[in-house]
């Protein structure tokens, strides 16, 4: 695992719609906070969202976590995937299907990365209200490379509804 000398800001989208979604998210954020080379400094409120992609399934619960990391982007992604597996995520071929846990690396500093298996910023940020709304809650002034300030990215009115869980 490679790490940097400096700390870099990163934002992670976390979602679940199986096996106690709110609990899954809480456990995932707890696990993130325990990883050496990661400092978790903010987590949005929870949002409920209708499933994306047309597969019949329960609603999702989503948050965005803000962190500082010394992990290289590829290593951070591997760490996120390890957390998914620890919590019972099974990868299958159903795109946008139900899942115990999904952690997406949304933004890594001001970097643009386009490699097999890793695209940063995440290509769905501007299209997915379940990412955009919680990200805007904790980092409205964040500049997403290629999209601009989070607060200036328009909400997608064609996407299924997203609401804050109180």
CA atoms within 13 A of residue 71's CA, in its CB half-sphere: 22
Catalytically annotated residue among 30, 86, 89, 164? 89
Active site residue 128: no
Active site residue 82: no
Look at residues 9, 111, 27 and name the one whose alpha carbon lies nearest to residue 63: 27
Active site residue 104: yes
Catalytically annotated residue among 26, 104, 128, 158? 104
Catalytically annotated residue among 23, 48, 99, 128? 99
Catalytically annotated residue among 102, 149, 158, 164? 102
Q: Which positions ≥6 away from 135 have C-beta within 8 Å?
A: 11, 13, 44, 64, 106, 125, 142, 150
Structure tokens given for 164:
């804050």
Contact 75, 1 (CB under 8 A): yes
Active site residue 95: no
Catalytic (active-site) positions: 89, 99, 102, 104
């Amino acid at each position: 695992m490679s790490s940097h000398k400096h700390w870099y800001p990163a934002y992670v989208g976390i979602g679940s719609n199986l096996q106690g979604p709110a609990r899954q998210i809480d456990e995932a954020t707890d696990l993130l906070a325990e990883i050496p080379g990661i400092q978790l400094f903010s987590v949005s409120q929870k949002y409920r969202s209708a499933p994306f992609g047309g597969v019949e399934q329960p609603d999702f619960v989503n948050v965005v976590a803000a962190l500082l990391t010394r992990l290289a982007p590829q290593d951070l992604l591997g760490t996120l995937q390890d957390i998914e597996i620890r919590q019972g995520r099974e990868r299958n071929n159903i795109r946008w299907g139900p899942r115990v846990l999904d952690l997406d690396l949304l933004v890594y500093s001001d970097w643009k990365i386009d490699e097999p298996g890793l695209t940063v910023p995440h290509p769905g940020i501007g299209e997915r209200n379940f990412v955009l709304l919680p990200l805007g809650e904790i980092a409205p002034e964040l500049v997403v490379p290629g999209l601009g300030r989070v607060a200036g990215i328009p909400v997608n009115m064609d996407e299924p509804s997203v609401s804050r869980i109180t």
